[in-house]
């Protein structure tokens, strides 16, 4: 048998090239030829690891969902139980910032995610990441708010997830761009307003 190559790792490499192109050119950067060039491979090689263009897209969608899932899995709501005041705000802020564009890596990931979400409206291939993200994030946020003693967990989870989406689009997209500092400040102000006041005595 010949040419020992880890197929899984190859696919990963190609998918990462696809991500770079989506960030740079939007969804239409994810063509087989462009992705192959970006990955330093020949079109035929890419097609050897991905049956279809659809298959490549599906892999990218799956990877995006997995990454966000991994980001969210790093935080468990149980660790928040009992926290009050600024400690509670800090903990929840750290949790939420995990999926906000606060550095280059997260900025790239949220950019790709936003492109996929908007595309999901008309192209079913992109649905999985959209649905998984929404469900996971909403669940985690709801659990976190519950652990921190927030009253209207459902309503506040809706509000916080909406705020997260809005902050993301305002930062990633070029409308004068919020900027990381104002993003953080806005989130912090919201968390302070939502979390219950410290118990006296």
Choose among DNA, a copy of itself, none what residue 5 binds, the Cβ cut-off being 5 to 8 Å by kind.
Answer: DNA
Nearer to a copy of itself, 41 or 100 (CB): 100
Closest to DNA by CB, 64 or 168:
64
Whether residue 101 contacts residue 114, with contact meaning beta carbons closer than 8 Å, is answered with no
Write out the residues near DNA by the rule CB under 7 A: 1-5, 7, 10, 30-34, 41-45, 47-49, 52-54
Contact 46, 55 (CB under 8 A): no
Cβ neighbour number for residue 139 with a 10 Å cutoff: 13
Which of 168-173's residues contact partners 24+ apart within 8 Å by CB, and which partners? 168/100, 168/101, 168/110, 168/114, 169/114, 171/100, 171/101, 171/107, 171/110, 172/101, 172/107, 172/110, 172/111, 172/114, 173/114
Residue 45 vs 186, nearer CB to DNA: 45
Residues that bind a copy of itself (CB under 8 A): 24-26, 28, 111, 114-115, 117-123, 127, 130-131, 133-135, 152, 155, 158-159, 161-170, 172-176, 178, 182, 185-186, 189-190, 193
Residue pair 140/75 in contact (Cβ under 8 Å)? The answer is yes
Interaction partner, residue 173 (a copy of itself, DNA, none; CB < 5-8 Å by kind): a copy of itself
Q: How far is the CB of 59 from DNA (least distance, A)?
A: 13
Which of a copy of itself, DNA, none is residue 63 near (CB under 5 to 8 Å by kind)? none
């Amino acid at each position: 048998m010949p040419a020992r190559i880890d197929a899984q790792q190859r696919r990963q490499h190609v998918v990462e090239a696809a991500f770079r192109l989506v960030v740079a050119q939007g969804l239409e950067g994810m063509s087989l030829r462009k992705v192959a060039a970006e990955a330093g491979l020949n079109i035929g090689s890419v097609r050897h690891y991905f049956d279809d263009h659809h298959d490549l897209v599906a892999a990218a969608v799956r990877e995006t969902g997995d990454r966000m899932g991994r980001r969210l899995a790093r935080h468990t709501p149980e660790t928040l139980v009992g926290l009050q005041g600024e400690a509670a705000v800090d903990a929840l802020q750290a949790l939420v910032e995990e999926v906000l564009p606060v550095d280059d890596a997260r900025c790239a990931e949220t950019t790709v995610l936003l492109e996929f979400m908007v595309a999901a409206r008309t192209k079913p291939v992109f649905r999985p990441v959209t649905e998984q993200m929404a469900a996971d994030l909403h669940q985690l946020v709801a659990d976190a708010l519950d652990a921190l003693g927030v009253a209207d967990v459902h309503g506040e989870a809706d509000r916080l997830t909406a705020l997260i989406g809005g902050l993301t689009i305002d930062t990633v997209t070029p409308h004068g761009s919020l900027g990381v500092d104002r993003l953080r400040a806005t989130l912090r102000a919201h968390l302070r307003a939502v979390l219950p006041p410290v118990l006296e005595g």
